[in-house]
C-alpha cells in the first residue's frame, strides 16, 4: 500500500539530489513524481505538471540557488 503520492519540484541542476530523495522516499512505499521520468515531446508541460501537482498528496520543493531561477519550481 502506497503511503503518499509526492510531487517533487526541483531545478534541473539539482536532479541528482532529487533522484536520491526519490529513491529514499520510494523505499518508504511512497510514489514520487519527477518530471525527468515522464518527459514526452510535444506535450503542454505547464498543464501536465499542474495536473500532477493537483493529484499529489504532498508537494516537495527542493529550494536551492539553482532552482530559484527556474520558472517551473
The residue assigned the cell 532552482 is 67
Longest dimension (CA), the chain: 37
Using only the alpha carbons of the chain, give its radius of gyration: 12
pTM summary value:
0.81
Interior angle at CA 13, CA 55 and CA 50, nearest 5: 20
Where residue 68 falls among pLDDT bands split at 50, 70, 90? confident
- Which of 6 and 37 is assigned the larger pLDDT? 6
Give the pLDDT mean for 23-42.
Answer: 88
Amino acid at each position: 500500500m502506497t503511503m503518499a503520492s509526492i510531487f517533487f519540484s526541483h531545478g534541473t541542476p539539482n536532479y541528482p539530489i532529487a533522484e536520491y530523495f526519490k529513491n529514499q522516499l520510494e523505499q518508504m512505499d511512497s510514489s514520487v513524481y519527477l518530471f525527468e521520468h515522464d518527459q514526452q515531446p510535444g506535450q503542454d508541460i505547464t498543464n501536465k505538471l499542474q495536473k500532477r501537482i493537483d493529484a499529489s498528496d504532498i508537494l516537495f520543493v527542493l529550494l536551492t540557488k539553482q532552482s530559484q531561477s527556474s520558472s517551473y519550481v
